[in-house]
Structure 1
């Protein structure tokens, strides 16, 4: 009987959901396991075969944990606010809510068809007012604690999307979403004070189980550095403060550079003789993104300020001040001291503008930009620091700066506060009103959720305000504090808002009185295992850790970190080895694969394709091999005999149980599958399979191929369902081989292989090697200089003559 995967898979998907097989319970007496994957943005394109890789891997883990007796929470929902849906709605004259509804239905149908064991009773949607009520509530708590604030600042502005972009959304100088021109504008923006948590975000990485490259990305993005703030007096009487990690090189500072947006330029407008030139340069800088401005490989540009100079605090020398676009007002103090003898960018700038270059760390050839390692050298041309090591010089100069009141030690972070506003429609309304008398005032909590009103047009306004700004009846309101006239905030929250706490809502998604009950949060959190793409291991991970820590500080959650474990997966590439995209014509639709081969085959292949953490190309040929494997499993029902695990297969079964159990926990799904394929070959060699052998094999295979295993379990008459069984265990003593195959070498070159007892002694192993026909013939008449035995691996005889 041929396996009819279409009928079988649909049958079991309906049974699982009807009976709530995968619905987590709130029975806190049971050990829990919370598995989490990043919830998707439901685009109109639906899934491609790369999406299910993460979902299937965690599904395998979740299914195994259930069989091991855990109360498993494996939820799914929708990160549904954002620009793509809104842009589609504008183009096609349809409400974003309707687009979202259609896209979600499409995505959900695809996910269900893959047999993923999500708890659909806990499904969430960030655009649901019952959900974003609590997103707004968290914002109000941040506002209450001074962590949400308004600030005038230079922002990235997309002329096409008509909205502010975070630095991360500007790629190669253009908008990540639409590819349009990005310019700099000064706007009043809502900000979240994530920088106040910078040190904790670094320190607490030591207490979580993240793969090392994720921790490294987090630390690099936060960018902690230690140094000093140094005050440079100027000839105008004002002081410019710089932050530097190398205060020991102060004697080599031959000029200063400030950002084109530095506010002191306005103060100096009547002192600068070339203010027109400065204005022109400011305008040019405003048209560039931060990425373009800070590119290392680019021509250095700038304008020397004519009329004001700085004074080097360590030697009293007057040095010129420039404005240049590579200095950002958003980083440090917006001003730097330049030491061209020991910094490539400063050296290039100095060469272009014919500025002095003074070596202060001995070694190298500064004229040829052959710098010495200025982190470990000896100080020269540095007055009081001459002869000191760099580390000793740092200590001495910081002490001197403090004593002379010319500076102080300082810890700095590259991390910037989070721009938390979009001038668009499809996002959470910010629950703030502005009153001329009271300023910014929070909406009372009993007025949440503040729902998105209906608008006639979703188009951004030409002046850069949200479409909400045109709704005067909605905008005009009363101040909750004084009762006077006020107007609502018309910016909406960025897409990151809803995804920064969604893992908490899954714990108690239908709660109307809190984002989740304290009991549910205390039971389910932290997330035991979170998997997602490497592209989200900086921003999303940082933002959600920040929100969680804040909620920990105000007593909402009881643990400082949201995720106990974080892993990441590699992409599935097109068959041509390139990233899947419509433009390349190499996108593989999972619907087509499921229709042609079945969901179990697709699941199996996505896990068998290669190392989970690495990218791997799709192969139409290789997926057929996974289909043949499942067909062979199906055919086993024709050769079942009564009995337990046979003695000749007992060791193979225990080794396979151990291998699959451990490999799943280590995301080595490909080798777990290979082990089951090898076991099937061993079984096939006997010509039959006993009921107990079949039962064990189906249990091992179930997390990978749940539909076919459930069907076979029922057909054979094992009773109940696989999902209610217990994961098989292994006896360690039965996992040890009686014999092993070792390599025989002469002078390091492989000459033969030999099967020997696993517990053989060194002397007996070497003796057996010498008695091997091939080895004996090649050592005859030669002197054995050395005999090497690596247990269970090799014998190497070093000979001469």
Structure 2
């Protein structure tokens, strides 16, 4: 389209409003203690999951959630709330480091460039962020408090009696040894099997493995000395305290499944003189255990394997090391395994059962050993069938089902003293027997593993930990020395060593004659675990968040502090779980007053490319918001993202849809202005300073719009709110005169959606009528009047001899004779009864008039 004939001149005013908002700090949010803070106002903390600033910049899928929170935040502000709506950057991470390695440019430089681009793009969309609260996880002032929180974990343990974190000093006061205390810390050192990538030179999280293997990098399982966080101690609380939260049921289910609570029994098996513990949820099936499986990395494998099997076992263990947990678990369709040559003793009948190793059993889950009951477990059944191992039925289905692979409840058979018992009773009986005979006990187990918190990277938060070279013990740096920053290094490439690239910075490592720094760094999760708290008090140098700011923004009687958290489902488990864990520890230690970080959670749906596939550079279907803003304006992009469909739905991008909402915005503009042949816009005179009740129809549709848009924003039903504003605008367009007060009401309800257009119209119309132009964002949300919504007119169908001929709008209280007279006076009716004699007129009040004529 030509510049001269754009449907409305968005390019002439959008950037000007953005500059004014910036210069005047229009959306600055005062904090408790500030001179302009009003503590009598209610608070509303609305939060977006902050982005990772990649070099590719934003695509149009990113602003969807940001636009939704912006609309809601603007609406709440107009309704008298103190609104906290911040933005920041999750800027550490492996992608930035890998880009730096390829280009030779320091990751801080590329990260700052990416952040600058992201910030520019977000500002171009007119989001009402308080940019004075911007946070960046790589900023030294932010790193300082991330490291401080780590030290709170390091200096704490989980008190089993109170089920809360408590200071290590409690254990020191009891005379515990250093070794005993280290074994209880919430942040501790462990030799853990990890996903090690030799060419990337770092450990990868399970969730990262497939992504980096797809890029051609090798990944293998290897035991390494790692920092771990004892999140397993919070497993039950993470389940129980999920219930009161206003989160989607699907997300709650994902969290519960990830934590994976199960109850059953721990059973002790003897293998060649070694005691091995197995956890089972079905101890009633012990008599059906016909073989045992150990994880390939189980420490007993080498000790129990016979000489004849050692080569085959070694080859299998090596092959398993290159597989991820996902490949060994969910993706593992073809069962494989190797017999160790050893046998275990089944404690209930003293029968010898063969011990195998197989990749579908992992050390990270349970005890790394399972008893296999192939008759009543599908996975075990497939394995036993493939390797011709015995299959013994020990549960009889009561519904006549086939017993092979039957996993439900039934009646015990072939089970000695359990025979004839129902499953529920058999479980109790066998657990009691195990206890009485010293062979096991009741056990609650969780699939959740302790959080592997180490990375061998340069671009991450260094651990504030020193190692004593004489004793080999670790200890924290003094809090006054925080933040501990990475040294400036020309060569930050991975070495392939588990010590990481920081190991090359010898001057930095050598803290003192006897102490060296930890060379691992924290994962990207660290900074994103607590950023929502820092937004509340981003410039505080004395505390990670002041008590006053936390009480106001995070306090209240709700279980969580952030009133609304919006983001993608890709963070449904780990980010949310980790943030909840850190928050609970800080709450237990008295640093926070709330127990949960996020009260309400909403996941926005994915925006696909026009081809219906996920946007990606490789598919060439990425739409850059800069291009859309240039062609149609920021308001059109914002409005279209909300008009595509319900916020939670997946939907494809359609550029024609942007054109459609652009035409709607143009109609709003043209209610007040018209364009001459010279291309200039002039006031058209339709808007007049007349009483609102001078047009009852317009007044009614305006108040309907105020009511519906407000209710829909509260429900996050933005698409239906826009539909109602379109109806109102059409009514204004078709009217000869639009009362000024009603037009102003439309601008106010449209303002959260299209802030640039509405502020411009408000300023120009105010100037036209010589009134003071207060910014809409600083005005109150309009109030609808219930009596104006009452229908005063109704539509009546007019028929002649049963056939529809016309429709009339009449007063709903009009008497029958008046309705009859209006029907007979209709030109369309007259044309259809011309030359006929009216025999009868039937009036059905509120519905129709039927004229019988011949």
TM-score, normalised to structure 1's length? 0.89
CA distance in 1, matches of 2:697, 2:433: 80
Question: Which of 405, 416, 434 does residue 467 from structure 2 map onto?
Answer: 434
CA distance in 1, matches of 2:711, 2:40: 26
Aligned position for 2:523: 494
Work out whether residues 259 and 334 of structure 1, in 8 Å CA contact, stay in contact via their aligned partners in 2: yes
Deviation at 1:740, TM superposition (A): 8.7
Work out whether residues 161 and 178 of structure 1, in 8 Å CA contact, stay in contact via their aligned partners in 2: no
1:626 and 2:661 matched: yes
Aligned position for 2:289: 253
Aligned position for 1:641: 688
Deviation at 1:738, TM superposition (A): 6.4
Aligned position for 1:765: none
1:156 and 2:195 matched: yes
Aligned position for 2:368: 334
Deviation at 1:741, TM superposition (A): 9.6
Alignment deviations for residues 239-289 of structure 1 (CA, whole Å, 9 cap, x no partner): 1111111112112111110111111224335x6542222222111111211
Aligned position for 2:207: 168
CA distance in 2, matches of 1:297, 1:453: 43
Work out whether residues 126 and 756 of structure 2, in 8 Å CA contact, stay in contact via their aligned partners in 1: yes
Alignment deviations for residues 589-618 of structure 1 (CA, whole Å, 9 cap, x no partner): 000000000000000000001111011111
Aligned position for 2:752: 703
CA distance in 1, matches of 2:651, 2:48: 20
Aligned position for 2:76: 65
In structure 1, the residue corresponding to 2:267 is in which secondary structure? Answer: strand
Question: Which of 716, 726, 742 does residue 780 from structure 2 map onto?
Answer: 726
CA distance in 1, matches of 2:788, 2:424: 58
In structure 1, the residue corresponding to 2:410 is in which secondary structure? Answer: coil
Q: Which moved more, 1:188-197 or 1:634-643?
A: 634-643
Work out whether residues 344 and 369 of structure 1, in 8 Å CA contact, stay in contact via their aligned partners in 2: no
1:275 and 2:310 matched: yes
In structure 2, the residue corresponding to 1:180 is in which secondary structure? Answer: coil
Alignment deviations for residues 496-542 of structure 1 (CA, whole Å, 9 cap, x no partner): 11010000111111111111111111111111111010000111111
Work out whether residues 272 and 305 of structure 1, in 8 Å CA contact, stay in contact via their aligned partners in 2: no
RMSD between superposed Cα atoms in Å: 2.6
Alignment deviations for residues 3-49 of structure 1 (CA, whole Å, 9 cap, x no partner): 32122111111111211111111233321111100111111111000
1:209 and 2:246 matched: yes
Work out whether residues 528 and 564 of structure 1, in 8 Å CA contact, stay in contact via their aligned partners in 2: yes
Alignment deviations for residues 646-692 of structure 1 (CA, whole Å, 9 cap, x no partner): 32233322322221111112111111101111121223232331111
CA distance in 1, matches of 2:580, 2:117: 31
Deviation at 1:376, TM superposition (A): 2.9
Work out whether residues 363 and 371 of structure 1, in 8 Å CA contact, stay in contact via their aligned partners in 2: no
Work out whether residues 359 and 381 of structure 1, in 8 Å CA contact, stay in contact via their aligned partners in 2: yes
CA distance in 1, matches of 2:734, 2:605: 36
Work out whether residues 241 and 335 of structure 1, in 8 Å CA contact, stay in contact via their aligned partners in 2: yes
Q: 1:239 to 1:365 in 2, by over 3 A?
A: farther
CA distance in 2, matches of 1:556, 1:721: 39
In structure 1, the residue corresponding to 2:356 is in which secondary structure? Answer: strand
Q: Which moved more, 1:320-329 or 1:27-36?
A: 27-36
Question: Which of 49, 67, 87 does residue 76 from structure 1 map onto?
Answer: 87
Question: Which of 28, 31, 37 does residue 23 from structure 1 map onto?
Answer: 28
Work out whether residues 232 and 310 of structure 1, in 8 Å CA contact, stay in contact via their aligned partners in 2: yes
CA distance in 2, matches of 1:672, 1:142: 46
1:657 and 2:706 matched: yes
Aligned position for 2:718: 669
Work out whether residues 667 and 733 of structure 2, in 8 Å CA contact, stay in contact via their aligned partners in 1: no
In structure 2, the residue corresponding to 1:102 is in which secondary structure? Answer: helix
Alignment deviations for residues 207-260 of structure 1 (CA, whole Å, 9 cap, x no partner): 2111211111111111111111111123x2221111111112112111110111
CA distance in 1, matches of 2:216, 2:551: 44
Aligned position for 1:747: none
In structure 2, the residue corresponding to 1:459 is in which secondary structure? Answer: coil
In structure 2, the residue corresponding to 1:157 is in which secondary structure? Answer: strand
Alignment of 1:410-425 (within 5 A): 410-425=443-458
Work out whether residues 113 and 599 of structure 1, in 8 Å CA contact, stay in contact via their aligned partners in 2: yes
Work out whether residues 364 and 370 of structure 1, in 8 Å CA contact, stay in contact via their aligned partners in 2: no
Alignment deviations for residues 369-419 of structure 1 (CA, whole Å, 9 cap, x no partner): 8544x3232222222222222222222222222222211111111111111
Alignment deviations for residues 36-68 of structure 1 (CA, whole Å, 9 cap, x no partner): 001111111110000000100000000000000
Alignment of 1:247-646 (within 5 A): 247-268=283-304, 273-295=308-330, 297-306=332-341, 308-363=342-397, 371-372=405-406, 374-438=407-471, 439-478=473-512, 485-525=514-554, 526-637=561-672, 638=684, 639-642=686-689, 643-645=691-693, 646=695
Instruction: Specify the structure having the higher radius of gyration (Cα).
Output: 2
Question: Which of 123, 126, 142 does residue 131 from structure 1 map onto?
Answer: 142
Alignment deviations for residues 738-766 of structure 1 (CA, whole Å, 9 cap, x no partner): 689999xxxxxxx9xx9999999xxxxxx
CA distance in 2, matches of 1:758, 1:261: 84
CA distance in 1, matches of 2:529, 2:434: 42
Deviation at 1:624, TM superposition (A): 0.6
Unaligned stretches of 5+ in structure 1?
479-483, 744-750, 761-791, 794-801
Aligned position for 1:787: none
Q: Which moved more, 1:296-305 or 1:72-81?
A: 296-305
Alignment deviations for residues 442-492 of structure 1 (CA, whole Å, 9 cap, x no partner): 1110111111101121210032431110111111123xxxxx512111111
CA distance in 2, matches of 1:742, 1:136: 73
Aligned position for 1:195: 232
Corresponding pairs, count: 743
Work out whether residues 381 and 405 of structure 2, in 8 Å CA contact, stay in contact via their aligned partners in 1: no
Work out whether residues 709 and 749 of structure 2, in 8 Å CA contact, stay in contact via their aligned partners in 1: yes
Aligned position for 2:170: none
Deviation at 1:426, TM superposition (A): 0.5
Aligned position for 1:797: none
In structure 2, the residue corresponding to 1:111 is in which secondary structure? Answer: helix
Aligned position for 1:789: none
Unaligned stretches of 5+ in structure 2?
32-36, 157-184, 555-560, 673-683, 798-803, 814-845, 848-854
In structure 1, the residue corresponding to 2:712 is in which secondary structure? Answer: helix
CA distance in 1, matches of 2:152, 2:653: 47
Deviation at 1:183, TM superposition (A): 1.1
Alignment deviations for residues 66-90 of structure 1 (CA, whole Å, 9 cap, x no partner): 0000011100111111111111111
Work out whether residues 433 and 441 of structure 1, in 8 Å CA contact, stay in contact via their aligned partners in 2: yes
Work out whether residues 304 and 340 of structure 2, in 8 Å CA contact, stay in contact via their aligned partners in 1: no
Q: 1:222 to 1:732 in 2, by over 3 A?
A: farther
CA distance in 2, matches of 1:619, 1:241: 58
Work out whether residues 160 and 178 of structure 1, in 8 Å CA contact, stay in contact via their aligned partners in 2: no
Q: 1:379 to 1:442 in 2, by over 3 A?
A: same
